[in-house]
């Protein structure tokens, strides 16, 4: 996104009330042993292409709900703006979207079940204020259920329609339609079915034009290529990675797991980062 597009997108999300201001102090990223070692060593997290989520129905759920809300909001006065937005939304405005996931809860049983293979897994506690500082990414809370997702989309549409009523000229409306499309795409990525509400998830979202994918990387999962980008977590004032703690997943080797994490953190000049153990009843 350009600086102007990013500024308008932030204004839309702020008007809807889904910016990073409401984030809890700490957000947790669940990952494997390889993921933990890589994040601590490099300060980067993987943001996966939205078409390659483990459950692709999440992305479709958000898009379908928003397209329905767009149709419901159409009137003779705003028809041109709505139609432009609907068309741009269907082709993503020529952009690719990537997301990295975080949770408010750092000891969540369903997350351990998803990441704790044979008892292995870690939850890294990040300072949410730092996560939202990078100008190229956006930190948003996930909305759960059709009603909550439609409410967000509807508020974004209403805000842009109001701005359009004050603007003059076809070009101005085209720019507003583009900004609304980006906002709705982000709302779609930050939407899940109601059944997942217990996750209390937040997502770091990154939008990249088709023409600027030089940083695109690929990893293997279940025998398939998964596109992703690496997003750098902003550092503390002393230049160190701004993490508040690491929780070891439910394992029968609690002491060994904690000791290894302590060694990893000390090696990477993070002696003040706390290491804790899960109390989840998943030990095998």
3-state secondary structure 240-259: CECEEEEEECCCCCHHHHHH
What is the pLDDT at residue 1?
A: 58
Phi-psi region of 208 (alpha: psi -120 to 50; beta: other; left: phi over 0): beta
| Residue bearing tokens 């890294």 | 124
What is the pLDDT at residue 166?
A: 82
What is the pLDDT at residue 282?
A: 66
What is the pLDDT at residue 104?
A: 95
Averages of pLDDT over runs of 10 residues in the chain (284 residues) are 72 83 91 94 93 82 92 91 90 87 92 73 92 76 94 94 78 80 92 90 84 80 90 88 94 86 97 93 64
* Two tokens, residue 242: 């701004």
Residue 226 to residue 54: CA distance in whole angstroms: 10
| Residue bearing tokens 């990073």 | 20
Q: Other C-beta atoms within 10 Å of 94: how many?
A: 10
Name the helix (H) or strand (E) containing 218.
strand 217-221
What is the pLDDT at residue 206?
A: 87
Query: pTM of the entire structure?
Result: 0.90
What is the pLDDT at residue 218?
A: 94
What is the pLDDT at residue 283?
A: 60
| Residue bearing tokens 């709302």 | 187
| Nearest CA-CA partner of 99 in 54, 133, 146, 66 | 54
What is the pLDDT at residue 269?
A: 95
Overall size of the chain counted in residues? 284
The answer to whether 150 and 144 have CB atoms below 8 angstroms apart is: no
DSSP states of 72-137:
HH--TTTHHHHHHHHHHHHTGGGEEEEEEEEES-SS-HHHHHHH-GGG--EEEEEEHHHHT--TT-
The answer to whether 63 and 150 have CB atoms below 8 angstroms apart is: no
What is the pLDDT at residue 15?
A: 83
- Give the SS3 label for residue 198: helix
């Amino acid at each position: 996104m350009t600086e102007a597009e990013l500024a308008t997108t932030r204004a839309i999300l702020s008007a809807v009330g889904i910016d990073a201001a409401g984030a809890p102090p700490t957000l947790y990223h669940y990952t494997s042993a390889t993921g933990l070692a890589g994040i601590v060593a490099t300060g980067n997290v993987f943001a996966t292409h939205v078409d390659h989520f483990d459950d692709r129905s999440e992305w479709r759920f958000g898009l379908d709900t928003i397209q329905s809300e767009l149709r419901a909001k159409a009137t003779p006065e705003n028809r041109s703006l709505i139609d432009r937005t609907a068309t741009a939304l269907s082709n993503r405005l020529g952009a690719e979207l990537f997301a990295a996931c975080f949770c408010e809860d750092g000891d969540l049983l369903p997350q351990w079940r998803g990441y704790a293979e044979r008892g292995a897994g870690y939850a890294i506690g990040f300072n949410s204020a730092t996560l939202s500082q990078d100008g190229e990414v956006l930190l948003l809370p996930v909305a759960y259920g059709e009603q909550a997702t439609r409410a967000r989309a509807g508020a974004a549409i209403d805000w842009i329609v109001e701005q359009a009523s004050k603007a003059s000229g076809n070009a101005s409306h085209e720019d507003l339609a583009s900004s609304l499309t980006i906002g709705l795409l982000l709302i779609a990525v930050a939407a899940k079915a109601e059944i997942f509400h217990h996750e209390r998830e937040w997502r770091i979202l990154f939008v990249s034009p088709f023409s600027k994918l030089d940083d695109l990387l690929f990893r293997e999962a279940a025998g398939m290529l998964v596109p992703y980008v690496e997003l750098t977590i902003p550092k503390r004032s002393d230049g160190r990675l701004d993490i508040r703690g690491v929780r070891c997943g439910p394992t029968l080797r609690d002491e060994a797991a904690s000791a290894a994490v302590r060694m990893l953190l000390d090696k990477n000049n993070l002696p003040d980062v706390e290491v804790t153990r899960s109390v989840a009843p998943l030990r095998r």
